[in-house]
A = this chain, B = another copy of it.
Amino acid sequence: MALPVETFFLQSDASGTLQTQIRQLVAEGILAGRFRPGEKLPSSRKLALHLGVSRITVTLAFTELLADDYIIARGRSGYFVSENAPEPPAFPATSSDHSTVDWGRAIGQRFTTTQSMSKPADWATFKYPFIYGQADPTLFDSANWRLCALEALGRKDFDALTADYFDSDDPKLLDFIARQTLPRRGILAQPDEILLTMGAQNALWLTAQVLLTQRRTAAIEDPCYPALRGILEQSRCHLHAIPVDQNGLPPDSLPSETDVVFTTPSHQCPTAATMPMSRRRALLDKAEQDDFLVVEDDYEFEMSFLKPPSPALKSLDKNGRVIYVGSFSKSLFPGLRLGYLVGPAPFIREARALRASVLRHPPGHIQRTVTYFLSRGHYDALVGRMSRAFHERRTTIDAALAEHGLRVAGAGSFGGSALWMRAPEHVDTRDLAQRLAEKSVLIEPGHAFFSGPSAPLNFYRLAYSSIPTQRISNGVEILAKTLAEMS
Binds B, one of A263-271, A330-338, A446-454, A469-477: A330-338
In the complex where A109-B213, A333-B161 touch, is A86 in contact with B380 (Cβ < 8 A)?
Answer: yes
In the complex where A99-B320, A100-B321, A180-B31 touch, is A202 in contact with B153 (Cβ < 8 A)?
Answer: no
Minimum CB distance partner of A89 in chain B: B184
A431 within 8 A of partner (CB): no
Q: Which of B7, B11, B344 is A184 in contact with, Cβ under 8 Å?
A: B7
Q: How far is the CB of A332 from chain B (nearest CB, A)?
A: 8
Minimum CB distance partner of A84 in chain B: B384
Complex Cα–Cα for A47 and B340 (A): 28
In the complex where A16-B376, A99-B319, A321-B99 touch, is A188 in contact with B93 (Cβ < 8 A)?
Answer: yes
Task: Flag if B350 contacts A363 (CB, 8 Å).
Answer: no
Q: Which of B34, B100, B109, B193 is A320 in contact with, Cβ under 8 Å?
A: B100
Contact with B along A356-372 (1 / 0, CB 8 A): 11111111111000001
Binds B, one of A130-138, A244-252, A394-402, A405-413: A130-138
Task: Flag if B27 contacts A97 (CB, 8 Å).
Answer: no
Complex Cα–Cα for A319 and B213 (A): 37
Contact with B along A174-202 (1 / 0, CB 8 A): 00001110111111111111000011011
Residues of B within 8 A of A4 (CB): 180, 184, 380
Tally chain A residues at the interface, Cβ within 8 Å: 162
A107 within 8 A of partner (CB): yes
Q: How far is the CB of A88 from chain B (nearest CB, A)?
A: 7
Q: How far is the CB of A296 from chain B (nearest CB, A)?
A: 13
Complex Cα–Cα for A380 and B1 (A): 14
Task: Flag if B376 contacts A15 (CB, 8 Å).
Answer: no
Task: Flag if B377 contacts A31 (CB, 8 Å).
Answer: yes
For residues 116 through 159 of chain A, which have their beta carbon under 8 Å from a beta carbon of chain B?
Answer: 116-119, 121, 124, 133-135, 137, 140, 142, 145-146, 149-151, 153, 155-156, 158-159
Complex Cα–Cα for A70 and B379 (A): 12
Task: Flag if A34 contacts B293 (CB, 8 Å).
Answer: no
A162 within 8 A of partner (CB): yes
Task: Flag if B350 contacts A111 (CB, 8 Å).
Answer: yes
For residues 3 through 38 of chain A, which have their beta carbon under 8 Å from a beta carbon of chain B?
Answer: 4, 6-7, 9, 11-12, 15-16, 20, 23-24, 26-34
Minimum CB distance partner of A364 in chain B: B335
Task: Flag if B190 contacts A231 (CB, 8 Å).
Answer: no
Binds B, one of A310-318, A421-429, A432-440, A455-463: A310-318
14 contacts between A and B (CB under 8 A): A6-B184, A31-B377, A32-B180, A68-B378, A95-B189, A107-B346, A108-B216, A109-B209, A118-B167, A142-B158, A165-B335, A231-B357, A337-B360, A363-B363
